[in-house]
Structure 1
Amino acid sequence: MRRIGRRNIVATVLMALVAGAAFASPPLQRLHGLSLDLLTTLRWNSIGDRRDVATSPVVVVAIDGETYDTPPFKGSPTQTWTREIGRVLGGIADGGAKVIGFDVIFPSSIEQSEIPFGDASFGSRVKGFDRDYLIALKKLSDTGKLVLGEILSNDHPERPDRAQQLAVRNNIRALNVHTDADNVIRRMPLSFSIEGQPVPAMAVELAARSLSARPETGPAGVTNLSGYAIPSAVTNTLTLNFRGMGRDIPAYSFADLRACLEKGDTDFFRRAFGGKIVLLGSILNFDDRKLTSMHLTGGYDGVPAARCALPAPASTARAARGTVAGVFVHATAVRNLIEHDAVTEPGSLLRLVLAILFAAIIAGAACVLAPTGAAITWFALTVAYTAVAVGTFAHAIALPLTEPVLAGLTALAMMIGYRFVIADREERFLRKSFAFYLAPEVIDGMVASGKMPVLGGEMRDITMFFSDLSGFSSIAEKMTPAELVALMNEYLSAMTDIIESHGGYVDKYIGDSIVAMFGAPADDPDHATHAVAAALQCRDRLEELNGSHPAFHGRGLAHRIGLNSGEAVVGNIGSRRRFNYTVMSDTVNLASRLEGANKYFGTVIMVSEATVNRSRGAYTWRELDLVRVQGRDEPIRVYEPLAEKNRETQEQGMRAAAYAGGLACWRARDFAKAAELFESAAADDPPCRYFARRARALAANPPPADWTPVNMLEGK
């Protein structure tokens, strides 16, 4: 995971604003319509509609294929059906229907036919054919139970013929629908302006008559019907809630109802239509089909209702289709109004905020995670948000779905591109620069820390590591070139792996010597502790190689390691054409001197007091001496690490105690006692042997009174 800096925060915010604003802008308004379609589909597939179809306040009387295939309608023009339609309407009204609406229009009458028939027109021969139908229309209209439909248009308006208009006294309402730019019906108009006056649409008129109320429009433009403030995302429209995908509305076959009248079963009409709003319409496969929010999964032309007289067709099951009969669109609008179930859509401001917030989360994730992790985050957030949106849509609230998701995807792509071109350019450079010098985990830590080395040089607190093989020149003379290369490659690889595994950086190899640093380029507050751990492991690893590896067998290789901590200049240092990431300071020189000083004491590892102080008490130490090395006037205390704290062996503890006692006597000028204590452990401890010789020499020839216990080391 990357650390996010101020520049990346600004980039994240800008990308979220751009992506969110783009997808919530008016030019991409179609996406909001697609959100409604997706939510409609997802809700149906995940939740469905658990309402009882019998409770539907609206039913459909369907002029269906069965009607066209059933006598007396079979083979007859629809203009000749008017008498039977009037009879069925009377039966429905007598059955207790609250109001009946026409989603079919008869713009002409058979009585108006001017086709010659004998010595007169056919229309004159059947004069009075529509009389009973017109009487039925007038009777129902006078009681407020009938509303005919019309299509408003400047070019080709479609209205019932003049006789029907007079019969219903202009109880006619518009059947026009609201079609979005993609030709999908997601909303229904609430009213139309006719001769300067607002006139309710068909669905609103039917719902208002059923509720014995009048729609009222307030100052804010909100239409209120019997206490229900109809939500309108688009002015003067109702957003349709296809909760049941058409299967929540029963459909009665007109042919069966006509046969039911012949049968005289008035109870059936009371059971079917008592207290209902009835819509008469066509549900043919080729006539008045509408594309709605149900088109992704498919909607249904209602549910076949109970039968009265005719046997059910061989197959009454209706398959889901991309389009539905227009009468069910109006029926859905009526049910939404009666049940206060129209969809509430958030305003443009809330859609913008959600899109920006979604994009900001994804852009932030893409800024700190790898592209794969960011993509997984986008997918997980999309799934979670979709679940919330579907759950909210179950309560008729449509949160935007496509806009936030696509804004997030766009922000993801933008941030990945930004990182590749700008933000990660420096990281890629560093990875490439240090790929051959640092372990991958160290490079990852350096990048994650956010503290990159300043190219050109910077002061850092580090621990330097110097190692060198003892007497290697004489050993190398006895080896063939191939043997020498194989041995060195094995040795350097083993030591380098240990150094890098503890966070160190190998600066260079000088023959058989290794120069490394801890604390740079990767920032490491525990660099001293890790450097000591690496030195101890290098010591143990060489012993293992001497005992088990064929290339080392019989060589008896030994090495010396010097450690020192302090401030140093690290960075890319060299010529304008060729440079290297390296380190310079007196801290480096002292570490090199300490590596060489091991040969005086016979130790493998020598550490400065500065490193001991920075190791935070992680190890058990033995103070070796107070020394003055070449090139430094001030003496320093040097130590040997024995083991991790509280893990030293009993033998190591005894040696350390004997050595500490001898060193105290040495500094007190009691050289004879010091020699005695050092000699007690000198058999297998080179530092004790070294000090025992020095103590015996001074015991025999005491130093002057101004003598100080500082060991002057000559040479490197």
Structure 2
Amino acid sequence: MATEKLRQANTGIRSFWWWLQCIVSLLLTALLVMDRAEWIDVPGLQRLEWQAYDWRVRSTLDGQSDSSLAIIDIDERSLFEIGQWPWPRTTVAALIESLFTTYDADLLGVDIVFAEPEASHWQRHWENLVEEYPSLASLPPPTDGDQVLANTLSNYPVVLGYYFQSSVQAGDPPVIGQLPEQAHLTTDSLLSLPEPQRYTANLAILQNGALSAGFFDNPLVDADGVFRRVPMLQRWQGELYPGLPLAMLLALLGQPQIDPVIGEGSGVDQLEALDVGGFQIPVDADGSALVPWYGPRGHFEYISAADILEGRIEPGSLKGKILILGASAPGLMDLRSTPVGAVYPGPEINLGLLAGMLHQSFKAQPPWIQGFDLVNLCALGLIIVVIFPRLNAPLLMAVSGTLLLAAVGGNVWAWHQGWVLPVAGLVVLLLAQTLWHLSMNLLRETQQKRWVAEWFGQYVPPQLVKSMVESGESFGLEGEERELTVLFSDVRDFTAFSELLSPSELTRVMNRLLTPLTGAIHQHKGTIDKYMGDAVMAFWGAPLRDMKHADHAIEASFEMLAALERINREFVAEGKPTLAMGVGLNSGPMSVGNMGSGFRMAYTVMGDNVNLGSRLEGLTKVYGVSLIVSEATAKQAPDWCYRRLDQVRVKGRRAPLWILEPLGRWSTLSQERCTWHAAFETALDHYQAANFESAAQAFKELGEEDLTTQIYLARSEYFLKTPPPQNWDGVWMHTDK
């Protein structure tokens, strides 16, 4: 009754912990699935995804540069030599003209907007000067810089820049300047594009003179302020306008139509890319592309604008090159935060986008990315819920590490194929689940260890208790039948020995005797059943299963006998008599469990095979040996050399059995010992065959030191005088316990 209640209580507690582990694991999975489905927002998860993306970018920069692309840089040196920005339009015109006439550039994109007329500024100042100095009235007015720049633009392939504004604040001016001609698309029905509320564009006179124009603002900067993706198109009042890199590509290709590439999957049409004259630009549903990153700041060639204006560059050195005119000087505010640098010039971002278009080297987020991530999260969560509660801590860490490597490795592989797949959700799910299950394992194992130690610690060694906990087996105290090996040991004539000692000294001697004997049993994975005065009962194979229980029991028996020899040497030195001990071992099915009454319970073994072990220990005195094992034990430990002592019937059993004495492992037995063993076995064969004359002669030759040999010599001589009956089977009957 008590055992069953204890078993039910332990099972109930284990079940509670298991269900708690699984339910919380499911909740963690559901939380991340709902975040990916955009039903909730898990704080920090998106930022981790961005950081994972930035890490992949920085880890895979190829460092290769395209010599046909360069930046004409309005840098600090240019401002120092030419003057503060804005420069006179005539200076800008001279710069542009030099790029094409002196240096043979192929195409120029301008990452600057000319929104205010320079002519009105000069006109106003000229009128003021004429009023103050009337003699100036006879001179022609200053050159109209806007017109000069417009004339220059009309002579060369130049793509201007401008910007949209996604929202309007109170006090913002109305739209400024003139937009370029809109982009021509075969269809825009599936395009969900940014729709700005105002723009600042170039003067009409300049825009009309230029080849085209493209915006350089980015309304899709991520919430952490980092440029990762840029819209290729924006919609203004129903018309579509390209970004500066796309406008430059269109100019290079002769202004072809843009063909949206629509992917058909799961019954839903989704925008996948923009086809521009055969060049495909992978985009998401918002028409934005991930910026291709080739290297840190300065990866592309930078040429100072001052060097162009001052003619310090070799003529023709820019032949066939595609250029972007922009500013890297900090004071001009065209610096951005990017995955490859916290301070990154805007012109280089645009040039990188153009390089990606020309080399078709974009990374892309496939349209099925959300469904893919949801399936992965659900599958991983299901695997974790099914497997993790069943694993111990080391195996859990190994499985978790394998899954983590598979998730990250698969993601990196996809990256190299050009796919940008989410990874933060999987990593967070794995780490959170691993931490949770490790914590629960620790709590569960601590509880199990406490329970096992409480109920088994008094029987088995601490290292075996640890093995029981780590094995993951469920240990019950209820009775069950198992294949075990039982040991009985008894110190001979201990009663007479104890009469020589005082009670206190007897206690010390008992401790000195039982401590090493118990240590030998524990050292070889045995379980102490009980102490009976100077006798010890132990068994192997429970509570922790042991496939080598017989082998370990024999090893422990030899260690016990060796320990007694060491104690006897101490006794001799102390003037005490020496002690002898007999050990009996038997193997077979036995009932093991917590047995007793409602008042007192004990974890013990019972059964006929247990009683036989006790009988074998008693026979050690008869045959003058220290250790006897049954033939069942010998069969389960074949590495040992055994001497057949006798075929006997013991009290309480009808069936005869062979009893044997282990002499040592075959691998360690000396040649002399092996020869003696073979001679004894031959003599015993003569005896069993009723060839008593040959047996007597053989046993005489073995010597007089061995009691068993003398027993057989006496029996052989007796049967020579008084032959046994015709049906004699060689079995000796023992009637004493």
TM-score (norm: length of structure 1): 0.79
Asked if residue 614 in structure 1 is aligned to residue 661 in structure 2, the reply is no
Q: Of the candidates 248, 269, 279, which is equivalent to residue 228 of structure 1?
A: 279
TM-score (norm: length of structure 2): 0.77
Q: For the residues of structure 2 that align with 1:431 and 1:173, how far apart are their CA atoms?
A: 77
Q: Of the candidates 74, 98, 105, which is equivalent to residue 91 of structure 1?
A: 98
Q: 1:92–1:650: structure 2 CA closer, same or farther, 3 Å change rule?
A: closer
Q: For the residues of structure 1 that align with 2:248 and 2:118, how far apart are their CA atoms?
A: 29
Q: CA deviation at 1:665?
A: 6.0
Q: Of the candidates 5, 22, 32, which is equivalent to residue 49 of structure 2?
A: 32
Q: CA deviation at 1:332?
A: 1.7
Report the equivalent of 1:644. 665
Question: What are the residue-to-residue correspondences of 1:124-163 with 2, within 5 Å?
Answer: 131-141=144-154, 144-155=157-168, 156=172, 157-160=198-201, 162-163=203-204
Q: For the residues of structure 2 that align with 1:389 and 1:110, how far apart are their CA atoms?
A: 53
Q: CA deviation at 1:85?
A: 0.9
Query: Counterpart of 1:90 in structure 2: which amino acid?
Result: E
Q: CA deviation at 1:595?
A: 0.6
Query: Counterpart of 2:291 in structure 1: which amino acid?
Result: L
Q: 1:273–1:428: structure 2 CA closer, same or farther, 3 Å change rule?
A: farther
Q: Is the 8 A contact 1:563 1:606 kept in 2?
A: yes
Question: What are the residue-to-residue correspondences of 1:173-184 with 2, within 5 Å?
Answer: 173-177=214-218, 178-184=220-226
Q: For the residues of structure 2 that align with 1:127 and 1:13, how far apart are their CA atoms?
A: 84
Q: Is the 8 A contact 1:134 1:167 kept in 2?
A: no
Asked if residue 105 in structure 1 is aligned to residue 110 in structure 2, the reply is no
Larger deviation: 458-467 or 328-337? Answer: 328-337
Larger deviation: 56-65 or 440-449? Answer: 440-449
Q: CA deviation at 1:290?
A: 1.5
Q: For the residues of structure 1 that align with 2:362 and 2:143, how far apart are their CA atoms?
A: 39
Q: Give the % identical residues.
A: 25
Q: Is the 8 A contact 1:620 1:646 kept in 2?
A: no
Asked if residue 585 in structure 1 is aligned to residue 607 in structure 2, the reply is yes
Report the equivalent of 1:256. 307
Q: 1:339–1:207: structure 2 CA closer, same or farther, 3 Å change rule?
A: same
Q: For the residues of structure 2 that align with 1:549 and 1:272, how far apart are their CA atoms?
A: 105
Query: Counterpart of 2:115 in structure 1: which amino acid?
Result: P
Larger deviation: 571-580 or 98-107? Answer: 571-580
Larger deviation: 168-177 or 114-123? Answer: 114-123
Q: For the residues of structure 2 that align with 1:378 and 1:435, how far apart are their CA atoms?
A: 33
Asked if residue 627 in structure 1 is aligned to residue 669 in structure 2, the reply is no
Q: Of the candidates 284, 288, 292, which is equivalent to residue 237 of structure 1?
A: 288
Report the equivalent of 1:217. 260
Report the equivalent of 1:61. 72
CA deviation map 1:174-196 (0-9, x unaligned): 22212112221101111112332
Q: Is the 8 A contact 1:223 1:230 kept in 2?
A: yes
Query: Counterpart of 1:171 in structure 2: which amino acid?
Result: S
Q: CA deviation at 1:58?
A: 2.9
Q: Is the 8 A contact 2:393 2:441 kept in 1?
A: no
CA deviation map 1:15-59 (0-9, x unaligned): 996697478665433333222211223345xxx61x25xx34432
Q: For the residues of structure 1 that align with 2:597 and 2:521, how far apart are their CA atoms?
A: 28
CA deviation map 1:519-538 (0-9, x unaligned): 22222223223322332343
Q: 1:85–1:560: structure 2 CA closer, same or farther, 3 Å change rule?
A: same
Q: For the residues of structure 1 that align with 2:673 and 2:99, how far apart are their CA atoms?
A: 108
Query: Counterpart of 1:30 in structure 2: which amino acid?
Result: R
Q: Of the candidates 618, 630, 646, which is equivalent to residue 596 of structure 1?
A: 618
Question: What are the residue-to-residue correspondences of 1:493-642 with 2, within 5 Å?
Answer: 493-547=515-569, 555-576=577-598, 579-615=601-637, 617-642=638-663
Asked if residue 344 in structure 1 is aligned to residue 364 in structure 2, the reply is yes
Q: What RMSD over aligned residues (CA atoms) do the two structures have, in Å? A: 4.4
CA deviation map 1:405-456 (0-9, x unaligned): 4333223212202322447744563356445544455456555655544331
Question: What are the residue-to-residue correspondences of 1:35-54 with 2, within 5 Å?
Answer: 35-43=52-60, 49=63, 51-52=64-65
Question: What are the residue-to-residue correspondences of 1:461-472 with 2, within 5 Å?
Answer: 461-472=483-494
Q: For the residues of structure 1 that align with 2:497 and 2:129, how far apart are their CA atoms?
A: 130
Q: For the residues of structure 1 that align with 2:227 and 2:572, how far apart are their CA atoms?
A: 83
Query: Counterpart of 1:254 in structure 2: which amino acid?
Result: A
Q: Is the 8 A contact 1:545 1:552 kept in 2?
A: no
CA deviation map 1:93-116 (0-9, x unaligned): 333333322222232224445998
Query: Counterpart of 2:495 in structure 1: which amino acid?
Result: S
Q: 1:161–1:21: structure 2 CA closer, same or farther, 3 Å change rule?
A: closer
Report the equivalent of 1:191. 233
Asked if residue 412 in structure 1 is aligned to residue 454 in structure 2, the reply is no
Q: Is the 8 A contact 1:518 1:527 kept in 2?
A: yes
Query: Counterpart of 1:274 in structure 2: which amino acid?
Result: G
Secondary structure of 1:69 counterpart: helix
Q: Is the 8 A contact 2:449 2:469 kept in 1?
A: yes
Q: Is the 8 A contact 2:407 2:426 kept in 1?
A: no
Q: Is the 8 A contact 2:163 2:200 kept in 1?
A: yes
Q: 1:484–1:258: structure 2 CA closer, same or farther, 3 Å change rule?
A: same
Q: CA deviation at 1:560?
A: 0.4
Report the equivalent of 2:15. none
Q: Is the 8 A contact 1:468 1:559 kept in 2?
A: yes
Q: Is the 8 A contact 1:562 1:595 kept in 2?
A: yes
Q: For the residues of structure 1 that align with 2:522 and 2:303, how far apart are their CA atoms?
A: 82
Secondary structure of 1:272 counterpart: coil
5+ long unaligned stretches in structure 1? 1-6, 300-321
Report the equivalent of 1:4. none
Larger deviation: 445-454 or 401-410? Answer: 445-454
Secondary structure of 1:136 counterpart: helix
CA deviation map 1:209-253 (0-9, x unaligned): 224453321233221234332223554111112221232222222
Q: For the residues of structure 2 that align with 1:249 and 1:660, how far apart are their CA atoms?
A: 94
Q: CA deviation at 1:677?
A: 5.1
Q: 1:713–1:147: structure 2 CA closer, same or farther, 3 Å change rule?
A: same
Q: 1:517–1:140: structure 2 CA closer, same or farther, 3 Å change rule?
A: same
Q: 1:229–1:444: structure 2 CA closer, same or farther, 3 Å change rule?
A: farther
Q: Is the 8 A contact 2:72 2:323 kept in 1?
A: no
Q: For the residues of structure 2 that align with 1:637 and 1:453, how far apart are their CA atoms?
A: 35
Q: For the residues of structure 2 that align with 1:256 and 1:412, how far apart are their CA atoms?
A: 60
Q: 1:341–1:653: structure 2 CA closer, same or farther, 3 Å change rule?
A: closer
Q: For the residues of structure 2 that align with 1:551 and 1:473, how far apart are their CA atoms?
A: 21
Q: 1:707–1:219: structure 2 CA closer, same or farther, 3 Å change rule?
A: closer
CA deviation map 1:623-652 (0-9, x unaligned): 222333333343332222223237545665
Report the equivalent of 1:305. none
Query: Counterpart of 2:71 in structure 1: which amino acid?
Result: V
Larger deviation: 81-90 or 680-689? Answer: 680-689
Larger deviation: 706-715 or 503-512? Answer: 706-715
CA deviation map 1:641-696 (0-9, x unaligned): 22323754566556556655665566566767766654554621112233445556
Report the equivalent of 2:183. none
Q: For the residues of structure 2 that align with 1:469 and 1:127, how far apart are their CA atoms?
A: 133
Report the equivalent of 1:335. 355
Q: Is the 8 A contact 1:662 1:673 kept in 2?
A: yes
CA deviation map 1:297-328 (0-9, x unaligned): xx3xxxxxxxxxxxxxxxxxxxxxx2222222
Secondary structure of 1:137 counterpart: helix
Larger deviation: 143-152 or 647-656? Answer: 647-656
